[in-house]
């Protein structure tokens, strides 16, 4: 599991496919999607809130697009911002040098590539610009303050570093982004740097950021096209509720709305505007006193997150007595409400931000599209720029590709991005899903995610159970090495199922042989998925091509097995700090421990650490001590306090011969709409 997660961390986060973690998820979770339940529990019942049995059913998801034009308030700014951030050709004007000073170390001048994580900072700025002028302005103003502090440090003869940036997890960028713009206490001697170039680029960025913040500050809420469009949509929801509701109580249930944004500043921006608008706009009068905002763990007007949930959906959240009053009809929230809560009493969600990751929308949608919903349909409204979507996505793609080309590594032994040149599939899938949502297609909600993310091993096992119940003897009598063929999808090639000893392997070899062999179980399983309607086809050409394809698949499996026969390949990947501390202990061993005890401590130090453990050990190692032995004793004490255990490598596998890779079955796939 550790190796899987480490592999995932070394992949461009924009291209990280759910397939990477599919084996772990499938082994540790029971995942039953909306489609799975509809298909396999079609006539089953479940107890409703009143205790009575009701047939399992889901409301129909309806997707709609809310358009706005961000050129209305800042004409031409997006084009200029895009050129500053990630131009089609040449280096970006916004260098972000302050966050990557290592590029300016003496002797390294001229390296024009961003570090990988600075690429994520660029993406973060773009997302905030699209979200709201206010979120963009607040971020730029914080960056201005930090650039000014950085220049003050340069003038004093030292370079401030942003160590926290090195700890950034791309998967959590929205919640941690602002932390990476703050200073740590770490400094370096300015004499090590090309100060002329560094000061020039930081000063240049400072002027750009000041200009961005100044322009964003000119956008007033009353002139914001997104807020105006939001007002009109809320008014439409109220009108529909009044028209469809049989009485005031039912109308009140129908006008309940969840408004989501990724960013707290945007929620603040919306809240300030809507609170004033519901007082002045008669169409929104029903929301007066019934609005609450949630960001992080806080709620508006000192309302706790839990109380806000109970007050918004007391029935579906099963609010306890004393907290079950129906108090709110409109919640403005970050993604703290995007999972883990039952809000199916509500039928409307409005996504204020562009769905850069469609799975976020699926998670939000899952709050109201649930068994037990009293609504026949639920509505997912999503904001999209009226004419600039393609430009926005192309800019995001340029940022992603520049990130993927980053040559420098931060705190890692190897490059932080592995195989980026061939990892365009997941980005393409994401973009296609965004385009479908723009066209108001609700398929992603129906199936519970993108194709790869909605995949579940439980679905395959259920299909196998059904097949075994009908034709167990026929299946068990099929000899090993049997093959078949079908026509489907966009890829032609051969899929193989094989075993070595008791280990199971899947491989897909493309027909052209130009693509890398696919060894991810989730990907191969999707390629061989079929229904009774899938055309069966096994041409002589595909039958003949199966033999050389199998040789490639067998060699791939053989090499994967043999890698685990070498103990050196089973050792953990250590970070520089592990080695530095281990060397210190060898140079200055503790004088109060036996040789055996010292060896145990060294084993613990040369083991993989969690981020928390590494931070704690770094703090002790970099502390000030009267002598080296005192540092040693404090390090040993910290290892014991943290309870760090020595790493125990798995036993190596016994060597095998390629003939020990046994073919179970194979499937030839001929594309019906080939892309290559």
- Tell me what the mean pLDDT of segment 585-599 comes to: 92
Q: What does the alpha-carbon distance between residue 161 and residue 164 come to, in Å, rounded to a whole number?
A: 9
pLDDT for 168: 38
What 3-state class would DSSP assign to 32? coil
Q: DSSP letters of 156-207?
A: TTEEE--GGGGG--GGGHHHHGGGGGS--S-EEEGGGB-HHHHHHHHHHHHH
Q: What does the alpha-carbon distance between residue 113 and residue 403 come to, in Å, rounded to a whole number?
A: 8
Confidence of residue 663 (pLDDT cuts 50, 70, 90): very high
Query: 596 or 427: which carries more pLDDT confidence?
Result: 596
Mean pLDDT taken over the chain: 84
Q: What does the alpha-carbon distance between residue 36 and residue 592 come to, in Å, rounded to a whole number?
A: 61
Query: 69 or 454: which carries more pLDDT confidence?
Result: 69
Q: What does the alpha-carbon distance between residue 676 and residue 490 come to, in Å, rounded to a whole number?
A: 8
% of the chain surpassing 90 pLDDT: 48
- Tell me what the mean pLDDT of segment 128-134 comes to: 93
Cα–Cα nearest to 252, from 242, 243, 267, 262 = 242
Confidence of residue 107 (pLDDT cuts 50, 70, 90): confident
Q: What does the alpha-carbon distance between residue 66 and residue 279 come to, in Å, rounded to a whole number?
A: 23
pLDDT for 411: 34
Listed range (98-112, 136-150, 635-649) with the worst mean pLDDT? 98-112
pLDDT for 111: 52
Q: Is the pLDDT of residue 332 over 60?
A: yes
pLDDT digits (tens, 9 = 90+) for 27-68: 888 877 777 888 888 888 888 767 788 888 889 999 999 998
What domains are defined for the chain?
56-68+223-387+436-444 (3.40.50.300), 77-219 (no CATH), 478-567+658-670 (no CATH), 572-642 (no CATH)
pLDDT for 101: 86
Query: What DSSP element (H or E) covers 474?
Result: helix 457-477
Who's near 63: CB < 8 A, 6+ residues apart? 380, 381, 382, 437, 440, 441, 442, 445
pLDDT for 172: 41
- Tell me what the mean pLDDT of segment 358-371 comes to: 86
pLDDT digits (tens, 9 = 90+) for 181-204: 554 446 678 888 899 999 999 999
Q: Is the pLDDT of residue 422 over 50?
A: no
Listed range (7-16, 162-171, 408-417, 605-614) with the worst mean pLDDT? 408-417
Confidence of residue 674 (pLDDT cuts 50, 70, 90): low
Query: 365 or 108: which carries more pLDDT confidence?
Result: 365
pLDDT digits (tens, 9 = 90+) for 385-420: 877 677 887 787 777 666 655 433 333 333 333 333
pLDDT for 124: 87
Max mean pLDDT range (380-389, 498-507, 570-579)? 498-507
Who's near 409: CB < 8 A, 6+ residues apart? 115, 116, 415, 416
Locate 93 and state its tokens. 């004007």
Q: Is the pLDDT of residue 297 over 50?
A: no
Q: What does the alpha-carbon distance between residue 154 and residue 189 come to, in Å, rounded to a whole number?
A: 9
Listed range (59-73, 427-441, 649-663) with the worst mean pLDDT? 427-441
- Tell me what the mean pLDDT of segment 343-348 comes to: 94
Confidence of residue 517 (pLDDT cuts 50, 70, 90): very high
Q: Is the pLDDT of residue 521 over 70?
A: yes
Output the CA–CA distances (angstroms, integers) from residue 11 to 15, 167, 606, 675, in the order listed.
7, 15, 24, 25
- Tell me what the mean pLDDT of segment 238-267 comes to: 94
Confidence of residue 429 (pLDDT cuts 50, 70, 90): low
Q: Is the pLDDT of residue 494 over 60?
A: yes
């Amino acid at each position: 599991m550790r190796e899987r997660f480490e592999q995932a961390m070394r992949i461009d986060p924009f291209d990280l496919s759910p397939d990477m973690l599919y084996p772990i998820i499938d082994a540790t979770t029971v995942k039953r999607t909306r489609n799975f339940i509809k298909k396999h529990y079609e006539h089953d019942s479940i107890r409703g809130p009143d205790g009575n049995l009701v047939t399992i059913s889901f409301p129909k998801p309806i997707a709609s697009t809310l358009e706005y034009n961000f050129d209305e308030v800042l004409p031409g700014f997006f084009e200029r911002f895009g050129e500053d951030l990630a131009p089609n050709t040449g280096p970006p004007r916004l260098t972000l040098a302050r966050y990557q000073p290592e590029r300016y170390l003496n002797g390294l001048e001229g390296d024009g590539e961003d570090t990988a994580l600075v690429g994520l900072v660029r993406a973060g700025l773009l997302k905030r610009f699209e979200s709201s002028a206010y979120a963009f302005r607040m971020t730029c103003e914080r960056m201005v303050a930090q650039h000014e502090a950085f220049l003050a440090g340069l003038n004093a003869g030292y370079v401030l570093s942003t160590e926290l940036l090195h700890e950034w997890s791309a998967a959590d960028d929205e919640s941690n982004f602002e932390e990476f713009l703050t200073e740590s206490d770490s400094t370096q001697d300015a004499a090590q740097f090309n100060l002329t170039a560094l000061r020039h680029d930081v000063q240049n960025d400072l002027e750009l950021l000041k200009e961005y913040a100044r322009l964003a500050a000119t956008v007033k809420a009353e002139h914001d096209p997104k807020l105006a469009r939001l007002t009109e949509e809320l008014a439409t929801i109220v009108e529909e509720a009044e028209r469809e509701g049989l009485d005031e109580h039912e109308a009140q249930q129908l006008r309940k709305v969840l408004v989501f944004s990724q960013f707290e500043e945007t929620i603040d921006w919306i809240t300030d505007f809507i609170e004033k608008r519901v007082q002045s706009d008669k169409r929104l009068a029903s929301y007066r006193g019934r609005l609450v905002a949630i960001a992080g763990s806080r709620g508006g007007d000192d309302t706790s997150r839990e109380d806000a949930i109970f007050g918004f959906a007391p029935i579906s959240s099963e609010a306890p007595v004393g907290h079950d009053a129906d108090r709110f009809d409109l919640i403005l929230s970050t993604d703290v409400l995007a999972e883990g809560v039952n809000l199916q009493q509500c039928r409307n969600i409005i996504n204020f931000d562009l769905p850069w990751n469609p799975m976020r929308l699926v998670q939000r949608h899952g709050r109201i599209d649930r068994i037990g919903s009293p609504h026949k349909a639920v509505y997912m409204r999503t904001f999209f720029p009226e004419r600039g979507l393609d430009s926005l996505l192309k800019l995001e793609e340029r940022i992603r590709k520049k990130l993927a080309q980053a040559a420098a590594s931060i705190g890692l032994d190897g490059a932080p991005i592995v195989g980026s040149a061939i990892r365009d599939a997941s980005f393409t899938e994401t973009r296609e899903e965004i385009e479908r949502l723009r066209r108001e297609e609700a398929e992603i909600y129906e199936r519970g995610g993108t194709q790869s993310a909605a995949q579940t091993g439980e679905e395959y096992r259920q299909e196998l159970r059904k097949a075994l119940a009908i034709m167990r003897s026929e299946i068990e009598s099929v000899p090993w090495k049997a093959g078949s063929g079908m026509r489907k999808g966009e890829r032609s090639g051969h899929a193989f199922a094989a075993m070595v000893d008791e280990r199971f392997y899947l491989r897909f070899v493309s027909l052209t042989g130009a693509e890398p062999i696919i060894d991810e179980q989730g990907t191969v399983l999707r390629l061989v998925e079929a229904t009774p309607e899938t055309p069966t086809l096994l041409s002589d050409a595909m039958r003949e091509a199966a033999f050389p394809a199998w040789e490639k698949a067998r060699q791939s499996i053989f090499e994967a097995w043999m890698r685990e026969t070498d103990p050196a390949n089973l050792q953990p990947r250590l970070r520089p700090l592990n080695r530095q501390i281990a060397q210190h202990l060898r140079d200055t061993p503790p004088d109060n421990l036996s040789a055996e005890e010292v060896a145990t401590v060294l084993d613990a130090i040369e083991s993989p650490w969690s981020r928390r453990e590494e931070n704690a050990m770094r703090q002790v190692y970099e502390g000030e001590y009267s002598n080296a032995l005192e540092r040693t004793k404090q390090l040993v004490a910290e290892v014991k306090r943290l309870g760090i255990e020595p790493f125990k490598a798995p036993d190596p596998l016994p060597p095998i011969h390629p003939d020990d890779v046994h073919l179970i079955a194979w499937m030839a796939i001929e594309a019906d709409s080939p892309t290559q």
